[in-house]
Every structure is written in C-alpha cells, then in structure tokens.
Amino acid sequence: MAEVLVLVELNPAGEGVRKTTLEALTAARALGEPAAVVVGAPGSAAAAKAQLAEYGAQKVYVAESEEVDQFLVAPKAEVLAQLVAEKSPAAVVIPSSPEGKEIAGRLAIKTGSGFLTDVTEIAGDGTATQVAFAGATIVHSKVTVGTPIYTVRGNSVTPEPAPGAAEEEQVAVQLSDAARATRVLDRVVEQKSSRPELTEASIVVSGGRGVASAENFSIIEALADSLGAAVGASRAAVDSGYYPHTFQVGQTGKTVSPQLYIAVGISGAIQHRAGMQTSKTIVAVNKDPEAPIFELADFGVVGDLNTVVPQATEAITARK
Amino acid sequence: MDIVVLVKQVPDSGSERNLDPADNTVARGSADNVVNEIDEYAIEEALVLKEAHGGEVTVLTVGPDSAADAIRKALSMGADRAVHVVDDAMHGACAPQTSAVLAAALQQMSFDIVLCGAESTDGQLSVMPALLAERLGIPQLSGARKLTVEGGVARVERQTDGGYWALEAPLPAIVSTWDTINEPRYPSFKGIMAAKKKPVEKKSLADLGVDPSTVGLATATSQVLDFAGRPPKGAGVKVNDEGDGAAKLVDFLAVQKIV
C-alpha cells in the first residue's frame, strides 16, 4: 500500500501532538499508509511516538535538529520536499494551521505539485471536499499535477485510533541558506488561558454587540467554563473593545467548526456567519426575534442574555 | 525605499458570491467586486513606510480589466503608481500559477519590501507570501500585526493564537499583514483626483516572459470537479424566554448529549 506523509504538529514543551495531527493521520488513511513526519528539536519524536502509533502511523520519519524551530516555515517544507523525492509518497497531508498552509504552499512549489487547503474530507480517489465562500458552497476538488498535498481543516475529521507500527527512520536535516531566511526570535504567549484553543475547541461560546460591555463578557466566559468551551467574539464586539481581536470569529477572524456553537447577543451578519456556519449544532440567544442568527440556529432563545445566560450556566453547573 | 503592494480584487464578502457553473471558477463578472479588505491594511502599511523612509509605493495587481477599480482605490489612498497584469489566459489560474505570474512581474520591478494582505476573502488560502518567498528566494514575514524596518532588516510580530512570534529577516522580503496592524486611511478628495493622473502600466503574460500555456484553467495544478450550495438547515426550534428559556436551552443540550 502506498505511503502518505503526514506532517506532525507538536504541542509546545514536549506535551505530545496536537489534535490536528490525529485528524490528519485519520484523513490520510483514505489514501494509503500514514507515515508521520516529525520535524522539530531533538526529543520531539520520542514525546510523540505513542500517539502516532495509536492513530495509525506505520512509520515515523524523525527529522530532528536544534535549528529547524529557529526559522519560519521553510525548514519544514524543505524536509518534506526531501522525503517526497526519496519516498515518492502517494500524497502529503498537513494540519491546516497558518503555518501548515504555508508549508503546503512552499512544498507545492518545490515539488511542482498542486495543493488543496482547508479540506474537510479526503476520498480514496484523492478527491477532497472544501467549503468555499464562508461555508455557503461545498466544493469537490482534485490535484491534477505532481504529488497531491492537502491541508486538513481542524475539527472536520474525527480522530479514530488504528494500530500502527510507528517504525522510526532517522532523516538527516541539512537546511539550505534559503530555509534560514526568516529567523524566529521568540514565541510569545500573551493570553495564557486554561480554555481550549478557539479553532480546536469542540464547544465555542461567542458574544456579540448585545453583551454591551467588556465587563459583561464575564457571563460569556462563565457559560464557556461551565461547558469546557472556548470563548469567541463577533467583529462588532471586538471593534467595540469588549474582547481581544485574537478571539474574533468571522470572515476577518477565525473560522471555527465545533460540535456546538453558542452565539450570544450576535445578530448573525454575513461577516460572522462566515466564521461559524459549518458548526454542527448552533444555539442562539438574542433579544431580537428577527435576528438572522436564528435562521442558522438549531435552538434559539428569544430573550435577554443577561437573564438567560447566567441561568443556563447555573443549570449546567448543577447537572455536573 | 521601494515598496510594492499586492492588491487583489475580490467579490464583496458582504453580498452573494458564486462559482460559475460553466467552468467552476469564481464568478467575478456577476459579482460586486471590491478591494480585498485586508489589502487596505497592507496599502496603509506601505504608505507609513514611505512616510518614514521615503521612496515609492507601487501597486501590483493581477486580474481582469475590472480590477482597475481596485488599483484606483489604492492610488487614491496615496500609492504612487501601479502595474496591472491583464491577460485572458489567466482565467481560472490556480495559486501556484498566479504566484509564478506575480513573481515574474516582481522580477521586473525594483523593491526592498513587498507587502500584501494576509488572506483574501474569496480563496482564503493565505499562502501567497509563502509561494512568492519560495519562488523569489526572499524571506517571508507573514501574518504581521506589527512591522518595523531599520538598517535593512525587517522585524515583524506574527500574530498567533494568544500571542505572537517575533520574526526577523534581511531585506528584500515579503510581509503580509492582518487587520490588527493599523487603521487604513480613507482616500481624500485630493487623493481621489490625483489618482486619476497616476501612471498605471498594463502588462500581458508575454510582457512578463510567461508562456500563456502554463497558466490558466487548462493547466491548473488543481481542479474543481463540482460544487453545490450548502443544503439549507432545517428550521430549528425557537422559544421565547418566559422565565424558562435557559432551562429549555439546557434541556436541548442534554438531548444532544452535550451536558
């Protein structure tokens, strides 16, 4: 069976792999035998191996060096290009983070291949499903040139365990000068949060203009915490200074696709729908019965969020 | 400092957008076309750099004749001149092909820094800086929320979830910007009038030395096989809160096995 390279996204500080990696390994199985590629500092593969084996990696290519994390994007693309040349894989599958998409792009140029980003499904014949125009259109596409490269959108594939041998093979890393062009001096975490990351969370609770103040976002956070959810915000809320930009969901912010999306005080402008309408279940709380968000909602409450949300938080907490 | 800003005209994300059923490409003819919103932040950043370091701001656009409107907008904000690559052979080009055309155009220009928006609202690939960096052999500093240029070195804060990465690279380099980097200016009346007299150079693929048979739908590296509108969602349940709205909401979550 043909080999499919899967680039591993590591958690920082040796805490195994990100969920996106397990999703990519699961998606890759439609095309062949997954071979995980770990590009990182020495010791990265050891920390990741058990999870890679559990999710079906037959092989683990270990490309470790102190240098690879010191430069942006290009080193990982270079290692993958080297493996594509040596191993002639059927395809390359990469988690669809900002870095992952850029790695895919550079790899496509290096290998003379086509690539498809943010795919939600890959079929055995290589056909990928993508959503276009903010989720309004569903597209089937195929790479027609070279070794197909896919980036898999977070939360669109359910990780399924499958046994893999995870046989290690060392890969020598020799970066070119071009791969050393952009130095990463520092990785700064400004908002250390105990909440899950927005794009990875299985539940997202978002607040909009209706929340009415930065202080009042605490009721959104409390509901989120009762559900173990991430917190998001509409552009109107961000522009009004209620919540930081990094949590913006929408056309000019993050695109999320959780199991459950709760929109509170959000009218549902196209700008916002663009970032959340592929969520599996949508719940809305809004005082305006005509708000367009209700067109998308599986369950809607017309009412004052200042009453409904704290009551819901309390009821959820009481059930635990 | 010679600054080039890449500007893309896209169908307005606030109105209905479609693919063309004839060939599965983005329907641009029927759309309400505008400057890609995040590109305005790249234009603003270019103007700020020019104000600090001197030099010229050139707009580079690939697109049909109608993209002249997007160029005009950039010029009215204060860019000095524009290069517009127009060629019917470009229709249906994929991202790698478009990057080859942009790279060919950039190689005919003089630049210290290339700026662009971090994402277009139509394709949403967010890969053009990476593709161009790869083709041109220059550093990519993508996803910037802050940019400083000093002594031939560019420093960027690359926006990430919950923070940033501090990046550094020597010029010439390509930088993409998010909408957190600045607040774009509105074109002034004077700017709008002046834009009408600013030079716009039109170039064909032949002018760039690009073989038209290597670009466009027929030879694209990926192909859209089919598309369909998302099936409309079945009508959901909507309740008025009469003191029991929260309880009903939680009951719904319980039925969904979420709580």
Verify whether the Cβ–Cβ distance A189 to B163 is below 8 Å.
yes
Q: Give the Cα-Cα-Cα angle A183, A184, A190 (nearest 5 degrees).
A: 155
Verify whether the Cβ–Cβ distance B179 to A252 is below 8 Å.
yes
Give percent above pLDDT 70 in chain B: 100
- Give φ, ψ of A235 to 5 degrees: -60, -40
Mutate to test the interface with A, among B120, B221, B239 (most CBs of A within 10 A): B221
Chain A with chain B: Cβ pairs closer than 8 A:
257
**R_g (Cα) of chain B, nearest Å:** 22
Verify whether the Cβ–Cβ distance A139 to B247 is below 8 Å.
no
From the CA of B102, how many Å to the nearest CA of chain A?
A: 14
The half-sphere exposure of A123 on its side-chain side, counting CA atoms within 13 A, is 9
Kindly report whether the peptide bond that precedes residue A98 is cis, defined as omega within 30 degrees of 0.
no
What is the tens place of the pLDDT at every residue in B119-157?
998 888 999 999 999 999 999 999 999 999 999 999 999
The pLDDT of residue B220: 96
Helix (H, G, I), strand (E, B) or coil at B1: coil
**For residues A313 and A307, what is the distance between their CA atoms, to the nearest angstrom?**
10
Annotated binding site of A: 209, 234-235, 248-252, 265-272, 286
For chain A, list the domains and their CATH numbers: 3-180 (3.40.50.620), 203-319 (3.40.50.1220)
**For residues A307 and A302, what is the distance between their CA atoms, to the nearest angstrom?**
11
Beta bridge partners of A63: A39
Verify whether the Cβ–Cβ distance A109 to B161 is below 8 Å.
no
From the CA of A306, how many Å to the nearest CA of chain B?
A: 11
Mean pLDDT of B175-197: 96
Verify whether the Cβ–Cβ distance A301 to B220 is below 8 Å.
no
The percent of chain B in helix, strand and coil, each rounded to the nearest 5, is 30, 30, 40
Residue with tokens 């040139």: A145
The pLDDT of residue B161: 82
**For residues A82 and A74, what is the distance between their CA atoms, to the nearest angstrom?**
12
From the CA of A263, how many Å to the nearest CA of chain B?
A: 12
C-alpha B225 chain-centroid distance: 25
From the CA of B191, how many Å to the nearest CA of chain A?
A: 27
Nearest to A38 by CA among A83, A87, A104: A83
For residue B162, which residues of chain A lie inside 8 Å, CB to CB?
189-193, 197, 246
**R_g (Cα) of chain A, nearest Å:** 21
Annotated binding site of A for FAD: 209, 234-235, 248-252, 265-272, 286
Output the six-digit token pair for A30: 């439609």
Q: Report CA-CA distances (Å) from B61 to A107, A115, B4, B66, B138.
A: 25, 23, 10, 11, 20
**For residues B160 and B149, what is the distance between their CA atoms, to the nearest angstrom?**
21
| DSSP-assigned states of every residue in chain A | --EEEEEPPBPGGG--B-HHHHHHHHHHTTTSEEEEEEEESTTHHHHHHHHHHHBT-SEEEEEE-SSGGGBSSHHHHHHHHHHHHHH--SEEEEE-SHHHHHHHHHHHHHHT--EEEEEEEE-TTS-EEEEETTTTEEEEEEE-SSS-EEEEPTTSS----B----EEEE------TGGGSSEEEEEEE-S--SSPPTTT-SEEEEE-GGG-SSTTHHHHHHHHHHHT-EEEE-HHHHHTTSS-GGGBBSTTSB----SEEEEES----HHHHHHHTT-SEEEEEES-TT-THHHH-SEEEES-HHHHHHHHHHHHHHH-
**For residues A92 and A37, what is the distance between their CA atoms, to the nearest angstrom?**
10
Q: Report CA-CA distances (Å) from B92 to A39, A238, A290.
A: 35, 36, 39
Verify whether the Cβ–Cβ distance A106 to B130 is below 8 Å.
yes
> Residue A308: which of B241, B254, B256 has the nearest Cβ?
B241
For residue B238, which residues of chain A lie inside 8 Å, CB to CB?
289, 294, 297, 299-302
Nearest to A26 by CA among A202, A148, A158: A158
Contact status of A316 with chain B (Cβ, < 8 Å):
yes
Query: What's the pLDDT band for B59 if we cut at 50, 70, 90?
Result: very high
The pLDDT of residue A67: 94
From the CA of B47, how many Å to the nearest CA of chain A?
A: 22
Pairing of strands A183-189, B163-170: antiparallel
Q: Are B182 and B45 spatial neighbours (Cβ–Cβ below 8 Å)? A: yes
Q: Are A89 and A4 spatial neighbours (Cβ–Cβ below 8 Å)? A: yes
Query: What's the pLDDT band for B162 if we cut at 50, 70, 90?
Result: confident
Q: Report CA-CA distances (Å) from A192 to A31, A92, B163, B166, B178.
A: 38, 33, 9, 17, 22
> Residue B127: which of A117, A144, A146 has the nearest Cβ?
A117
For residue A74, which residues of chain B lie inside 8 Å, CB to CB?
133-134, 140
For residue A116, which residues of chain B lie inside 8 Å, CB to CB?
222
Helix (H, G, I), strand (E, B) or coil at B17: coil
Which chain B residue has the Cα nearest residue A244? B162
Residue type for A16, please? G
**For residues A166 and A55, what is the distance between their CA atoms, to the nearest angstrom?**
10
Verify whether the Cβ–Cβ distance B140 to A74 is below 8 Å.
yes
Pairing of strands B9-11, A137-143: unpaired
Mean pLDDT of B229-252: 90
Residue with tokens 């995040």: B38
Contact status of A109 with chain B (Cβ, < 8 Å):
yes
For chain B, list the domains and their CATH numbers: 2-219 (3.40.50.620)
Residues in chain B: 259
Mutate to test the interface with A, among B39, B101, B125, B176 (most CBs of A within 10 A): B125
Exposure b/e, A65-74, CB count within 10 A at least 16 = b: beebbebbbb
Helix (H, G, I), strand (E, B) or coil at B116: strand
**For residues B31 and B20, what is the distance between their CA atoms, to the nearest angstrom?**
11
From the CA of A276, how many Å to the nearest CA of chain B?
A: 13
Residue type for A168, please? E
Exposure b/e, A75-107, CB count within 10 A at least 16 = b: bbbbbbbbbbeebebbbbbbbbbbbbbbbbbbb
For residue B246, which residues of chain A lie inside 8 Å, CB to CB?
301, 307-309, 311-312, 314-315
For residue B256, which residues of chain A lie inside 8 Å, CB to CB?
260, 281
Nearest to B98 by CA among B72, B135, B69: B135
Residues in chain A, pLDDT under 70: 14
Task: Give the A window 74-103 contacts with B, CB below 8 Å.
Answer: 74, 77, 98, 101-103
What is the tens place of the pLDDT at every residue in B86-116?
999 999 999 999 999 999 999 999 999 999 9
Q: Give the Cα-Cα-Cα angle A286, A288, A293 (nearest 5 degrees).
A: 60
Mean pLDDT of B49-72: 97
Q: Report CA-CA distances (Å) from A107 to A86, A111, B134.
A: 14, 6, 9
Verify whether the Cβ–Cβ distance A199 to B161 is below 8 Å.
yes
Which chain A residue has the Cα nearest residue B238? A300
From the CA of A71, how many Å to the nearest CA of chain B?
A: 9
Contact status of A190 with chain B (Cβ, < 8 Å):
yes
The pLDDT of residue B65: 95
The pLDDT of residue B150: 96
Output the six-digit token pair for B187: 């074109």
The pLDDT of residue B211: 97
